[in-house]
Structure 1
Amino acid sequence: MNLYGLIGMPLAQSFSKKYFTEKFEKEHIANAAYELFPLENISLLTDLLQTHPELKGLNVTIPYKEQVLQFLNALNNEAKEIGAVNCIKINNGQLTGFNTDAPAFEKSLLPQLASHHKKALILGTGGAAKAVLYVLKKLGIEYAYVSRNKGAGFVYEDLTKEIIEAYPLIINSTPLGSFPKVDTAPDIPYQYLTDKNYLYDLVYNPAKTLFLQKGEERGAAIKNGYEMLVGQAELSWEIWNTK
C-alpha cells in the first residue's frame, strides 16, 4: 500500500482526504490511501515517518509550511526561492520539498487579472503568503504586505482610500473567514472598494467568505481558493509519481 497524507494543525475541515480518496476510486488507482496526520508539533514528523514507512508523499498546511524545512534533505528550486513547502516527496527515506501552491495560485489568478492590477496587497505573512509573493514577483506586480504587527509593509490600521485605490489587487493569505469561523474577515476598509478591485481569497470553505462577499457588494471581481487547491493537489500527485 502506498500511503500519502496531510500534516498540519488543525485538519478537521481539510479537503485533501476526500479529494484524494475520490480520485483513487474514480481513476481506479489501486493500493493507494490518503490520510490526515494532525501534528501538535512539527517535531512529531520524525515519529510519523518511522511509524509509517509506507509513506510516499505528504502535503503540508498551516502552520508548518516553513517549519518543515529543517526536516528535508533537499528542496527544488521553486521551494528554495519561496522559502515554504506544501508538498514532500519521500523516496528511500529522503525527503524532498516542493511548492505546488505557487503554480496553482498563478493559474487560478490569471483569468480575472486586468491590465490595471499592477499593485497588490498581500494580507498575512505566513507560508502561503510567500507563494503568493513569488508569483507576484514573477508577474511583475508590485506588492506590499499587510499584517497586524508593524514591520514589513502596512498594518491594517494604515489602510486608507488612497492605498486601496493604489493597490487594486487584494489577496487574503490568512485563514480568517474559513469554516467554522465564517463571520470573520480581514480588517480592511471595505467601503473604499470599487469595481476596479480584485479580491482573491486563498480560503475555499466557505466558497464565498465574508471577505469576498464584502468585495462583491462593492462591485469587485472575486475568486476563492478552490481552483488553487485542486491545482496544487494534482501537481502534488504528479510529483509523487514521477521517477
Structure 2
Amino acid sequence: MITGKTRVTGIMGHPLGHSLSPIMHNAAFRSLGMDWIYVPFPVKPENLKAAVEGLRALGVEGVNVTIPHKEAVLEYIDDIHGTAALIGAVNTLKFDDGTVRGYNTDASGCLRALEEVTSVEGSSVLILGAGGAARACAFQLAEKGASDITILNRTPEKARLLAEDMADKLGFEASYGGYELIQGSVKSADILIDTTPVGMHPHTDDRPLVGAELMHEGLVVHDFVYNPQRTVLLREAERASAIPVSGIRMLLYQGVEAFRIWTGRDPPLDVMEDALKRVLNRD
C-alpha cells in the first residue's frame, strides 16, 4: 500500500510506453519488503529542466534517465559521478538532500552482459549507434582493454564526435563512419553491439542493420533492444552460429546498479529477471 512514507523512484524519458523498468524494480521492492515504488515520468525535451527541479522539490529518491535525455540532463546536475562525467551521458539520478547526483550504470551493465560470454580485453568491437548508451559502452570497453573500437552511425558526424571525445579523454583512437561501412567492419569484429532501436516492439519485423550473411561463427552479437527478447538481429545471429546476447542482460545489470545507488541494498537479480520474462512471454 502506498502511504505518505512510501519512497519514490522512477524513470524519466519520452516516450516511455515500452519501458519495463517499473516491472523489474517494483518486483525487487516487493521481494525485499521495502516501502518503495518505481513509476514512469514522461518528460518531453522542452520540459527537462522543470522536471528535474520538480523531482528534486517533491523529494523523489532517484530516477533512471532514458531517451532522449541522457546527455541533455547533464546541464541540470549538481554533482556528476566520475564515470558519467567521462562518458558525457547519465542514465541514473539520485536526489540527495537537495543535491542532484548523476551516474551512468549503462557502462557497467554493458560490460557485465558481455563478460558473461566473452572477454572484452583484446577484442575488436563494432558499435552501431552513437547516442548515450553507445557512449557509455564505448568508453567502458575502451577502458577495459578492447583492442579497437569502430563506431558507425546513421549520421557519421555524431560517430566522429564520439570518437574524438574518446581520443581527448582516454587517448583511445576509435574508428568511425556511416552505415555504408558495416559490411567490412563486421568481418573483422569479435563483438557487435547494436544500440539502435531497430527491431523494438511494435516494429519487431524491421530488417536489422546486420543480417546473418554478414556475420561469422563465434561473433558476439549484443542487441540493446529487449522487447522482444529474441529480436530479429538475435535470430540472425543464431542462424550464423554467432553468440546472441539479449538486451535483457543489459537492462538487468544497469538496473541492479541503479537500485544499489538509490537504496544502498543489493536487489534480487532472479526476481527482477523473472518479472521481466513473465511480461515479455505474455506479450
Q: Normalising by structure 1, what TM-score?
A: 0.92
Give distance in 2, aligned partners of 1:193 and 1:230.
26
- Residue 115 of structure 1 and its aligned partner are, at CA, apart by 8.0
- State the match for 1:195 in structure 2: 217
Report whether the alignment pairs 1:137 with 2:142.
Answer: yes
1:71-150 superposed matches below 5 A: 71-113=76-118, 118-141=123-146, 142-150=148-156
**Residue 119 of structure 1: how far off its partner (Å):** 0.8
Change (3 A) 1:61 1:115: closer
Instruction: Find the aligned partners of 2:217 and 2:82 in 1 and give their Cα distance.
Output: 37
Among residues 29, 34, 37, which one is paired with 2:38 in the alignment? 34
Distance 1:56 1:114, change over 3 A: closer
Q: Percent identity?
A: 29
1:209-220 → structure 2 map (5 Å cutoff): 209-220=231-242
SS of match in other structure, 2:152: strand
Alpha-carbon spacing, 1:64–1:42, altered in 2? closer, same or farther (3 Å): farther
- Deviations 1:136-193 (Å, cap 9, x if unpaired)? 1022211011111233212112233x43221231100111111111112442354121
The correspondence for 1:25, drawn from 25, 30, 37, is 30
Larger % of helix: which? 2
51, 74, 81: which one aligns with 1:69: 74
User: Which of the residues 263, 268, 278 maps onto 1:241?
Assistant: 263
Matched residue, 1:157: 180
RMSD (Å) for aligned C-alpha atoms? 2.1
User: Which amino acid in the other structure matches residue 78 of structure 1?
Assistant: T
Residue 117 of structure 1: how far off its partner (Å): 6.8
Classify 1:47/1:61 alpha carbon distance in 2 versus 1 (closer, same or farther; 3 Å).
closer
Return the TM-score normalized by structure 2.
0.79
Residue 50 (str. 1) matches residue 73 (str. 2): no
- In 1, Cα distance between equivalents of 2:79 and 2:200: 32
Distance in 2 of aligned mates of 1:242 and 1:223 = 28
Work out whether residues 79 and 101 of structure 2, in 8 Å CA contact, stay in contact via their aligned partners in 1: yes
What secondary structure is seen at the aligned counterpart in 1 of 2:116?
Answer: helix
What is aligned with 1:171? Answer: 193
**Structure 1 outlier segments of 4+, above 6 Å:** none
- Residue type at the aligned position of 1:61: T
Question: Where does the alignment leave 5 or more consecutive residues of structure 2 unmatched?
Answer: 1-5, 161-175, 266-283
Out of 16-25 and 88-97, give the one that drifted further: 16-25
CA contact (8 A) 1:117 1:169 kept: no
| Offset at residue 82 of structure 1 (A) | 0.9
Indicate the SS of the match to 1:227.
Answer: helix
- Checking the alignment, whether the CA contact within 8 Å between 1:42 and 1:68 is kept in structure 2 is no
Which amino acid letter does the alignment assign opposite residue 228 of structure 2? P
Task: Indicate conservation of the 8 Å contact 1:117/1:168, yes or no.
Answer: no
> For this pair of structures, how many residues does the alignment match?
241
Of 227, 238, 251, which aligns to 1:229?
251
Separation of aligned partners in 2, 1:56 and 1:114? 35
SS at match of 1:159: helix
Distance 1:49 1:115, change over 3 A: closer
